Amino acid sequence: DVKVTQSSRYLVKRTGEKVFLECVQDMDHENMFWYRQDPGLGLRLIYFSYDVKMKEKGDIPEGYSVSREKKERFSLILESASTNQTSMYLCASSLWGQDYGYTFGSGTRLTVV
């Protein structure tokens, strides 16, 4: 089975801290994605990447950056965490092409205090 592993299930950080959320997939997928999920707002796409060192902005990229130095790893970076970034963060990956589904990780619940 394809696995998408997020490094932490729960994370508590202070306002202003730099935060790294790590995601690793083990099936050689080209595409990787970061979403956040908030009650009443659903899942929203933050950034995605279709190749190493490539990145594209999603619907809500403000306050975030990403890094993809290796194909299997996609990192989400909060340069200076704020309380409005408290959320569930979900990573996903997929093969290139329309005929494939996405595989999601279990999520990281980040609380910024």
Partner 1 sequence: DAKTTQPNSMESNEEEPVHLPCNHSTISGTDYIHWYRQLPSQGPEYVIHGLTSNVNNRMASLAIAEDRKSSTLILHRATLRDAAVYYCILSSGGGADGLTFGKGTHLIIQP
Contacts of 98 (CB under 8 A, 6+ apart): none
DSSP annotation of 71: T
Nearer to partner 1, 14 or 62 (CB): 62
Which residues in this chain contact partner 1 in the complex, by CB under 8 A?
4, 30-31, 33, 35, 42-45, 48, 50, 56, 58-59, 90, 92, 94-107
Nearer to partner 1, 48 or 64 (CB): 48
Nearer to partner 1, 90 or 112 (CB): 90
